[in-house]
Structure 1
Amino acid sequence: MSHHDQIKEHMEVIGADGVHVGTVDGIEGDRIKLTKKDSSAQVEGGHGEHEGHHHFISLGLVAGVEGDKVRLSTTGANAQTFEEEE
């Protein structure tokens, strides 16, 4: 099931475990574009080479949309391994 039309800018993206993964900046093709501000704040609160640019999550990882949250089918930590960079 496609959730593409339900995903809106500023929605929170969370893993299956409820961990914050990012914030929706928009949809580009078959990917969710996350805001730059979340590129270093994810799961481990890290900084460095991943900071300051957009990351993308495949729409294929979306399990559902619940209110103002996009829930993924994988945990927050695992979602990071699937992220693509701009």
Structure 2
Amino acid sequence: MNDKVRENMDVIGADGVHVGTVDRVEAQRIKLKKSDAYGRHEGHHHYIELGFVAGVEGNKVRLSANADIAVTLEEEATGKPVDL
């Protein structure tokens, strides 16, 4: 799957809601652009495991979870889950 995920693709939840934008794939995780981070997480890269990717359609990476759940699955560069 990681060979289909490309820079600047939109990452969307199963519900069609925007989760982030692909910066690149690193170590079986999608690295999201810093510009998608918000609040106290602003300025940090966040990651989503490739295992949560349901498919790639055009310029969109669709996740198997809805956006509100997907953001709880994100990790910071440290590999620790994001504390929302």
Which TM-score applies when normalising by structure 1? 0.88
What is the Cα deviation at residue 84 of structure 1?
A: 0.2
Distance 1:35 1:68 in 2: 15
Distance 1:51 1:33 in 2: 14
Give the equivalent residue in structure 1 for 2:32. Answer: 34
Distance 2:48 2:20 in 1: 10
After superposition, give the CA deviation of every residue in 1:9-66 in whole Å (9 maximum; x if it has no partner): 00000000000000000000110000000011xxxxxx2x211110000000000000
- How many pairs are equivalent? 77
Q: Equivalent pairs: percent with the same residue?
A: 62
Of 5, 9, 12, the match for 1:11: 9
Give the equivalent residue in structure 2 for 1:63. Answer: 54
Unaligned residue ranges in structure 2 (runs of 5+): 78-84
Matched residue SS, 2:71: helix
Distance 1:53 1:20 in 2: 18
In structure 2, give the amino acid aligned to 1:8: R
Matched residue SS, 1:4: coil
In structure 1, give the amino acid aligned to 2:12: I
State the 4+ residue runs in structure 1 displaced beyond 2 angstroms: none
Distance 1:82 1:24 in 2: 15
Matched residue SS, 1:53: coil
CA root-mean-square deviation:
0.5
Give the equivalent residue in structure 2 for 1:43. Answer: none
Tell me: higher relative CO, structure 1 or 2? Use CA pairs within 8 A at least 6 residues apart.
1
